[in-house]
Structure 1
Amino acid sequence: MLRAGGIVLGGSFVSGSATAADGATTLTVLSYNDIQTAAAEDKNFPRLVTLIEQRRAAADGPVVVVGGGDQVGPHALSPISQWRAPVDVLNEVDPDADVIGNHEFDYGFDPISDVTADSGFPWLATNLVDSETGDAFDGTESSEIVNRGGVSVGLIGLADQGATTGKTNIDFEAEGVTIEDYTETGPAEAKRLKEAEDVDAVIALAHTGIDDAELLAEADADDDIDVVVVGDDEQRYPPEAVDGSIISEARARAAFLSEIELTIEGGEVTGFDGRLIEVTDDIEKDPTASQIINDYRAEVSLDSPVVETETPLNATFGANYHRETGYGNLITDAMRERVDADAAITNAGGIRSDSVYGPGEITGGDIFNTLPFPNTVVSLELTGEELVETLESQVITLESETGQSFGEEISQQTSGLRFEWVPHEDADELVRDVYVGGEPLDPDETYEVAVNSYIANGGSGYPLEDKVIEDTGELQATTVVNYLEEKETIAPEPEGRMQRVDRDLPDAAVTVDGNGKVVAQFDAPDDVESVAEDTATVWTPEGDHLDAEHVAFDEGDERLVVRVDDGDLADTVEDADDGDELPLDLYAEYESSEYEQIYFERSRLNADLTATVRRRGRGRAGPPGR
């Protein structure tokens, strides 16, 4: 039974004072997770090293230091150091154990043994076992027991399907590894450690994300797992009692350190206190850690400027998973140009660092930090039908489990393409109205598409295996750097390449003659409660767009009226001839009575417009002599 603040809580935790009573010991658990891109920067990582030493020194009793996985990748130094830069720094930390996460497999399956051999601490993989022996696979351990200050602590390492087969290209079955159910293996190993090894506390290093860590706590019926240190989904989750276990996650990229103080009394955990400590700029950098990182950086001149940007380069997860970004456009434009392809696609998860760069000077290190994987640029041949299937593979619907947590997502960035995506389970098509190079997609036509090698091999669920026609062998980051070095300044912005649509308005026809106003009226769907006037925009297939000058919605008769300036609209289709009929799209955001958006502020409407061009009265010059 656990006790917080000296009060018995009937088997459940409440955070409070963990001051040890007579005969009790305070065990401090320090943890971090998902170091990733911070491993290549002389910023937070050396400060985290200092903070760990400070909290070790301040502890009132024994200390255990552990990691939650995803420490050795991805980062900007991986092309030259692979796992070595982060491992060299972590060896200075001298943790008691870490857990194998999906990014520990960034360099392949066999190099895991090299990672663990170079580490001065054990890497745990309790539920990733040798299919023949049932032991932890080569280079890893099933568990670790730490005896310190009269306290015995059992450590186990767990990963779920999402952090193994879901986020790597490793064929675990072919490698002779079985992925056991972490909710069964974890509690069973915790029970063994407590009963057979007589440990006082069990800490699970769980590279599962918070939701699955809570499932682990729920599955641990006898409450043998006292603490769950979480990694993978990179949440800021201060220590909290859940179903008899204390769960904590320190976000990612060395931004926080989790500190949990356990009261150990009579061979069991009886109380706790905990917090997340932010890694701030006023914490001094550990000089050895800084030197390790800077020595590696010097080998590849990561601090040299390559271009000036007039607009921000947004490498945040939230932006790149949910919508088109200027930086995503730049990356895919560089890829498409590199192989002279019709289109280019890159996965949102391959754009890292979760930071924004510029406006201002951009260095090579900035690019490698945002594209840290050793992925090369690859050229494929896809039919139009296969191209649509590829784009659809990344749409996350609002109704899905992921959509209910993070909102509807497009999960990729593209070049040479324009299309609409409809993120709902009842949609007839998840991706529609696709244009390639400004022309409607032909399902039977063959298109050359540039991608990175990770998704070419089926990563992130892309259906692209066995379609490669050329691997350039050039790193994706190098391709982008080379592309930028040819330019003095850049100003990438969203161009309407990927248009989100939740509901459709009826089709409409308008005439564009350059005089007066163009007015379109629509019967709105039943779930429209209001329309945001400043969001209505008309787009051409080429990416030109015009904001509406007036929008009116009558909730009583569910009537939507949109007005644009005819002269401005005519300018957007200036290359069209008299009598031409052009496809246009109207988009507008609205408050929905049906869709409860998780990420986006509002839902989005679309109407297909057919614009007939009339040039009379526009003064267009004719042939000489007229």
Structure 2
Amino acid sequence: MSVRLVHYSDIENACDDPVRMGQLAGTIQSIHGEDTVVAGTGDNTAPGVLAHYCEGRQALPFFRAVSTDVETVGNHDFDFGTAPILDVISESPQEWIVANVTDGDSESGCSPGIAELDGTTVLHRDGQLVGFVGVIDPATPRIAPTGASELTVTSPVESVRTALSELSQTVDQFVVLAHLRSDFETAVAAVDGVDVVLGGHVHRERHEIVDGTLVVRPGANGQVVWEVELFDGNRPPMATRHSTAEGPIDESMADTTREQLADVDLLETVATVDDPIYRDIDRRTRGESRVGNLVADAYRWAADADVAFVHNGGLREGRPLSGEVTAGEMASVNPFRGKVEALHVSGDQLRTLLDAAFRPHRDDGRLWHGDISGMTVEYDTEAGRLVSVAVNDQPIEAGREYRIATSSYVVYSDDWPIPRETTVDSFGPPFKTVADYARQEGLTVQVDGRLREC
């Protein structure tokens, strides 16, 4: 006897692509059976362009189409506040679980609706009882754009241990639904008694055995589904990877997504491009990329600024921009609300910001975390330092004032060294800015040597 887990995560802006949503739903449906549990591990209601218009409800037809059984929340599920995600939870077919969110103290303001979700559940399939616990990243109150700042998130490792102590005598298998960064994901996998960790949050795939525990992660945007078979007895779990691009398409799901996009005027063609603009994470986080240049140029254009800086963690993967490109496809490149902001900084402050963009990332090895416009930057990768910065081909002047365009996240986040005392001019949201720029200026962007390694 065996139980099969069908695992998706971090759908995000796949909800803006009818083909991807149809293929994702079709792939899951093709491997669904009476012995399956369909499980999601967060960030499946946001971010994305439709998400801004629907506040996460655009995901409901997908949840129903694939008959999701169990899910945990992710940081982006709070993008529009606590109330919208609670509405989605109340209307979706699956049971939502999260064990490491608490009410906190009486002054925290944490919504009891999230804290009162069950942390665990037990499902019966093919003669086996499978226990599930959901845990989210402790950084969620800091990294969720708006809706999670008042959540109290405790240790995922301790929450998993507590759940195991409560369920270990009654279940045959124990599975963690983990919306965690990689080191926490590894730590919960090392807890004695965990059979499988279904991961999310990090946008790179994972298939690994950690201390005898199977860990799988599908990456982002509905491109991969994992099928995990849990066997009765001592036989270890087995994982099969399914590429949704190679799977069948659920035409009904694709049509539903098209209707959702049409309802908010996102199917309009705004530009054409002959040379496809690729959006994969390796291209845009290892140095200069066309898609990064495109977004940075759009910010500078919108704010009429000297320079622009874009945190490339806010850019999202998807199919290449090719041929006739719609407003929805353009907006999905940088699908966040907030604002494009313009402020004045000194040359020294600008250099400090650029220096902060060069740092290794613990989860995916990224080196370069920013995209730029109006500047040329040289960086010594071996020494780990900036060599030179020029603005409009002129060496940067320490005391000179420059007008810089960037996002609300960069301006107001503690992660970036932006002076808080500076007056800020606000423009449209990033997702609309990028679409408007393509409509007005076209998509002729190239890699032009603005970021150079030496």
Amino acid in the other structure paired with 2:174? V
Q: In 2 relative to 1, CA 483–45 (structure 1 residues): closer, same or farther, beyond 3 Å?
A: closer
The DSSP-based 3-state class of the residue aligned with 1:406 is coil
The alpha carbon displacement at 1:451 in A equals 0.9
Partner of 1:275: 240
2:450 to 481, 493, 497: 497
| Residue in 1 that maps onto 2:389 | 434
Distance 1:282 1:259 in 2: 13
Indicate whether 1:236 and 2:205 are aligned: yes
- Code of the aligned partner of 1:436: V
TM-score, normalised with respect to structure 1:
0.66
Equivalent positions of 1:173-252 (< 5 A) are: 175=150, 177-195=151-169, 198-218=170-190, 220=191, 223-238=192-207, 240-252=208-220
- 1:464 corresponds to 2:441: no
2:438 to 478, 481, 484: 484
Q: How far did 1:450 drift? A: 0.9
* Aligned residues of 1:106 and 1:373 also touching (Cα < 8 A): no
**Structural mapping, 1:5-44, within 5 Å:** 25-44=1-20
> Shift in Å at residue 235 of structure 1?
3.0
Aligned position for 2:376 = 418
Shift of 1:204: 0.3
Q: Tell me, in whole angstroms, the C-alpha distance in 2 between the residues paired with 1:75 and 1:156.
A: 27
Alpha-carbon contact 2:19-2:249 (below 8 Å) kept: no
Report SS of the residue matched to 2:10.
coil
The alignment partner of 1:77 has SS state of helix
Identity %: 24
- The answer (yes or no) to whether the contact 1:123–1:141 under 8 Å persists in 2 is yes
Secondary structure of the residue aligned to 1:141 is: coil
One-letter code of the match for 1:41? Answer: D
Q: What is the CA-CA distance between 1:278 and the residue it aligns to?
A: 2.1
Local SS of the residue matching 2:299: helix
Distance 1:155 1:468, change over 3 A: farther
Instruction: Report how many residues are paired.
Output: 450
SS at the partner of 2:232? strand
Quote how far apart the aligned CAs of 1:500 are: 1.9
Q: Cα distance, 1:66 vs. partner?
A: 0.7
Counterpart for residue 21 of structure 2: 45
Structure with max Cα Rg:
1
Shift of 1:98: 1.2
| Distance 1:231-1:145 versus aligned 2 partners, 3 A rule | same
C-alpha deviations, 1:175-231, integer Å up to 9, x for none?
1x3322222221221222224xx122221011125554223222x1xx321111011
Tell me what 1:594 maps to: none
Alpha-carbon contact 2:221-2:318 (below 8 Å) kept:
no
Cα deviation per residue 1:110-131 (whole Å; 9 max; x = unaligned)?
5432332333323322122222
- In 2, Cα distance between equivalents of 1:97 and 1:464: 41
Give the match's secondary structure for 1:291: helix
The answer to whether residue 38 in structure 2 is matched with residue 65 in structure 1 is yes
Contact residue 99 and residue 159 of structure 2 kept, 8 A = yes
For residues 54 and 433 of structure 1, do their structure 2 counterparts lie closer, same or farther at Cα, with a shift above 3 Å needed?
Answer: closer
Unaligned runs of 5+ in 1: 1-24, 502-626
CA contact (8 A) 1:81 1:296 kept: no
Question: 1: CA distance between counterparts of 2:373 and 2:340?
Answer: 14
Tell me the CA shift for residue 453 of structure 1: 1.8
Change (3 A) 1:338 1:251: closer
Alpha-carbon separation, structure 1, partners of 2:237 and 2:283? 37
- Select the structure that is richer in strand: 1
Q: Which amino acid counterpart does residue 248 of structure 2 have in structure 1?
A: I
Distance verdict in 2 for CA 1:497–1:284, change over 3 Å: closer
> Match for 2:293 among 329, 335, 346?
329
8 A Cα contact 1:377 1:475, kept in partner: yes
Mapped partners of 1:313, 1:467: distance in 2: 37
Tell me, in whole angstroms, the C-alpha distance in 2 between the residues paired with 1:108 and 1:123.
17
Shift of 1:440: 2.2
Give the secondary-structure state (helix, strand or coil) at the position aligned to 1:491: coil
When residues 449 and 312 of structure 1 are mapped into structure 2, their CA distance, relative to the original with a 3 A threshold, is same
The Cα of 1:54 is off from its aligned counterpart by 2.8
User: Is 1:448 matched with 2:403?
Assistant: yes
Residue in structure 2 matched with residue 156 of structure 1 by the alignment: 133
CA distance in structure 1 between the partners assigned to 2:98 and 2:378 by the alignment:
42
- Decide which of 107, 121, 131 is 2:104's aligned counterpart: 131
Match of 1:56 in 2: 32
1:386–1:230 CA distance, 2 compared to 1 (3 A): same
Higher-RCO chain (CA-CA 8 Å, sequence separation at least 6):
2
User: 1: CA distance between counterparts of 2:6 and 2:325?
Assistant: 35
Distance 2:225 2:262 in 1: 28
Query: SS at the partner of 2:194?
Result: coil
1:321 and 1:282, CA in 2 relative to 1: closer, same or farther beyond 3 A? closer
**1:355 Cα offset (Å):** 3.7
Rounded to whole Å, the distance in 2 between the matches of 1:263 and 1:153 is: 11
Q: 2:224 aligns with which of 256, 260, 269?
A: 256
Change in Cα spacing, 1:56 to 1:483, as seen in structure 2 (3 Å) is closer
Q: What secondary structure sits across from 2:404 in the alignment?
A: strand
Distance 2:96 2:399 in 1: 50
How has the CA–CA distance of structure 1 residues 280 and 193 changed in structure 2, closer, same or farther, with 3 Å as cutoff? Answer: same
Structure 1: distance between partners of 2:105 and 2:95: 22
Q: Is the 8 A contact 2:80 2:147 kept in 1?
A: no
Equivalents in 1 of 2:410, 2:82: separation in Å?
Answer: 17
Q: CA deviation at 1:29?
A: 1.2
Q: Distance in 2 between matches of 1:380 and 1:150?
A: 62
- Write the letter of the residue equivalent to 2:242: I
Greater helix fraction, Structure 1 or Structure 2: 2
Kept after mapping to 1: 8 A contact 2:56/2:85:
no
Match of 1:474 in 2: 428
| Structure 2 residue identity aligned to 1:406 | G
Distance 1:186 1:212, change over 3 A: same
Change (3 A) 1:337 1:50: closer
Contact 1:155 1:204 in 2 (8 A): yes
- In the alignment, is residue 372 of structure 1 matched against residue 326 of structure 2? no
> Equivalent residue of 1:280, what SS?
helix
Change (3 A) 1:243 1:356: same
| 1:441-496 alpha-carbon deviations (Å, 9 max, x no partner) | 2222222211122222217x222373563453512222222223234x54211222
Aligned to 1:99: 72
Q: CA deviation at 1:105?
A: 2.4
Pick the aligned partner of 1:146 from 113, 123, 132. Answer: 123
Instruction: Deviation per CA, 1:539-558: give whole Å up to 9, x if none.
Output: xxxxxxxxxxxxxxxxxxxx
Q: Deviations over 1:282-329 (max 9, x none)?
A: 513151x22331221111332322122344323222122121222322
Match of 2:321 in 1: 357
Corresponding residue to 1:381 among 334, 344, 350 = 344
Output the CA distance in 2 between the equivalents of 1:401 and 1:479: 31
